[in-house]
């Protein structure tokens, strides 16, 4: 039986190599070939002994999720639909900017948290993604964008993806072990070598998992807040009933001393007449006064079967101004890739719902 080496971080590859009678330095070589050079072919790994390459060919694979579709928007945004078996699909989006390239990565097929405004939440949940399916999204993006080294020395080239946000389909911290192993690969200098400051995990508020992330792999933290009080957040983000805002903010405060950034990003989807008034903004500013943070306001992108509407531009700007006047850095997320349905709220995966919530085909937003 063969194993997929994309499921292993550095330590996992050391253990794998030991199991086939190879020394630890072989694991570092494999990391470079797989993740820096971006090859799935053992035969081209020229600094491995021929006997090892032959052994790998019989005992291991480097198997990636197949690409079902690949679209590029007028603004350069790129979207891939990846097949993950049993009729399920996930989407990955690359957003190019002047000084960086950000990849929005999925962590689950569907989502069980059922946030009221989230299209993936309407689909229900099928399963967690494997490490290979998570890190494979980064591998595929770098290779598709044509920036991996193509020589036979294993030398790393500049990557198109400089930032990763775990903001795609699913709740990353509900797939903790696989997500953290993928994070280890993103941060490993022998693999992708990304800075902790440039890797962000977004959560709807799984408090115990935030504490685990702080202890295990503290990267930049984003929290999907979306409401300034428990009554409203209970309706919009049902996990709040288990971990209310006071507990969530306390977890954020515990996280920050170990985090690569000295603030938490609070994501806030702007819903017309629901959470976007001046009163809401003032309540929000008061709520987080003891938590170093910045705000990312997200214009809502509607989808079939949902009753919410996007806040007006005027409401968004007034809301932003109230927060800024209270001293908070506040940005309004730009809509990118909407002509290929890659903007927030427009991703279209495929989920065979094991929770039997719905048979819809829309997937969650980046964010």
Please report the pLDDT score of residue 357 as a whole number: 58
SS3 112: coil
94 versus 306: which is more confidently predicted? 94
pLDDT of 19 > 90? The answer is yes
Give the residue-averaged pLDDT of 331-351.
62
At residue 105 the predicted structure's pLDDT band, cuts being 50, 70 and 90, is very high
**Which one of 3.20.20.70, 1.10.150.530, 1.10.3720.10, 3.40.50.620 gives the CATH number of domain 3-61?**
1.10.150.530
3-state secondary structure of 341: coil
Every domain of the chain and the residues it spans: 3-61, 67-340
Residue 87 has pLDDT above 80, yes or no: yes
Q: What is the mean pLDDT of residues 9-19?
A: 98
Mean confidence (pLDDT) of the chain: 90
Residue-level pLDDT at 122: 77
User: What percent of the chain is predicted at pLDDT more than 70?
Assistant: 89
Q: Which of 187-191, 282-286, 294-298, 305-309 has the lowest mean pLDDT?
A: 305-309
pLDDT tens, residue by residue, 206-238:
999 999 999 999 999 999 999 999 999 999 999
Position 157 scores a pLDDT of: 44
Choices 3.40.50.300, 3.20.20.70, 3.40.220.10, 2.60.40.3080: CATH for 67-340: 3.20.20.70
d(C-alpha 59, C-alpha 57), whole Å: 6
- Taking the C-alpha atoms of residue 217 and residue 186, their distance in angstroms, rounded to an integer, is 11
Query: In the structure, what pLDDT confidence band is assigned to residue 345 with cuts at 50, 70 and 90?
Result: very low
- What are 125-164's pLDDT values in tens digits? 899 999 999 999 999 999 999 764 443 434 444 578 999 9
> CA-CA distance, 193 to 1, in Å (whole number)?
31
> What is residue 338's predicted lDDT score, i.e. its pLDDT?
57
Residue 80 bridge partners (DSSP): 70, 92
Determine the pLDDT at residue 12. 98
Q: How far is the C-alpha of 126 from the C-alpha of 352, rounded, in Å?
A: 6
**What distance in Å separates the CA atoms of residue 131 and residue 113, rounded to the nearest whole number?**
21
Q: Which pLDDT score, from 0 to 100, does residue 150 have?
A: 40
Interstrand relation of 330-332 and 293-299 (parallel, antiparallel or unpaired): parallel
Q: Which of 352, 318, 345 is nearest to 332 (CA)?
A: 318
pLDDT value at position 152? 40
Catalytically annotated residues: 91, 344
**Separation CA 105–CA 349 (nearest Å):** 13
Kindly calculate the radius of gyration of the chain based on its CA atoms and give it in whole angstroms: 21
Q: What is the pLDDT of residue 60?
A: 98
Dihedral (CA of 207, 209, 215, 219) sign: negative
Segment 320-349 shows an average pLDDT of: 74
Average pLDDT over residues 18-28: 97
């Amino acid at each position: 039986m063969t194993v997929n080496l994309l499921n292993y971080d550095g330590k996992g590859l050391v253990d794998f190599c030991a199991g086939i009678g190879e020394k630890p330095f072989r694991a570092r070589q494999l990391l470079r070939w797989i993740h820096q050079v971006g090859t799935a072919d053992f035969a081209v790994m020229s600094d491995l002994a021929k006997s090892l390459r032959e052994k790998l060919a019989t005992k291991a694979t480097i198997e990636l999720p197949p690409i079902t579709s690949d679209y590029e928007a007028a603004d350069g945004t790129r979207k891939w639909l990846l097949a993950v078996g049993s009729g399920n699909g996930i989407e990955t989006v690359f957003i190019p900017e002047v000084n960086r390239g950000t990849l929005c990565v999925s962590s689950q097929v569907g989502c069980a948290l059922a946030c009221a405004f989230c299209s993936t939440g309407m689909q229900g949940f099928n399963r967690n993604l494997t490490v290979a399916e998570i890190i494979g999204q980064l591998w595929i993006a770098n290779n598709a964008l044509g920036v991996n080294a193509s020589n036979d020395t294993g030398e790393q080239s500049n990557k198109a993806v400089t930032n990763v946000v775990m903001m795609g389909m699913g709740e990353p911290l509900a797939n903790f072990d696989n997500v953290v192993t993928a994070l280890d690969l993103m941060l490993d200098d022998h693999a992708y070598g990304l800075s902790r400051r440039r890797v962000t995990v977004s959560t709807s508020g799984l408090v115990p998992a935030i504490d685990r992330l702080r202890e295990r792999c503290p990267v930049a933290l984003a929290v999907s807040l979306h409401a300034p009080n428990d009554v409203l957040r209970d309706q919009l983000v049902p996990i709040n009933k288990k971990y209310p805002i006071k507990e969530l903010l306390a977890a954020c405060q515990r996280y920050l001393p170990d985090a690569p950034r000295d603030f938490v990003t609070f994501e806030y989807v702007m819903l017309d007449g629901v959470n976007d008034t001046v009163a809401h903004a003032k309540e929000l500013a008061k709520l987080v006064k003891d938590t170093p943070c910045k705000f990312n306001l997200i214009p809502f992108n509607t989808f079939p079967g949902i009753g919410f509407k996007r806040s007006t531009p005027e409401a968004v700007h007034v809301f932003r101004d109230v927060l800024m006047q209270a001293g908070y850095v506040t940005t309004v997320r730009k809509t990118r890739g909407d002509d290929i349905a890659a903007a927030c709220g427009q991703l279209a995966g495929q989920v065979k719902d094991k929770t039997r919530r719905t048979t819809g085909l829309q997937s969650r937003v980046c964010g």
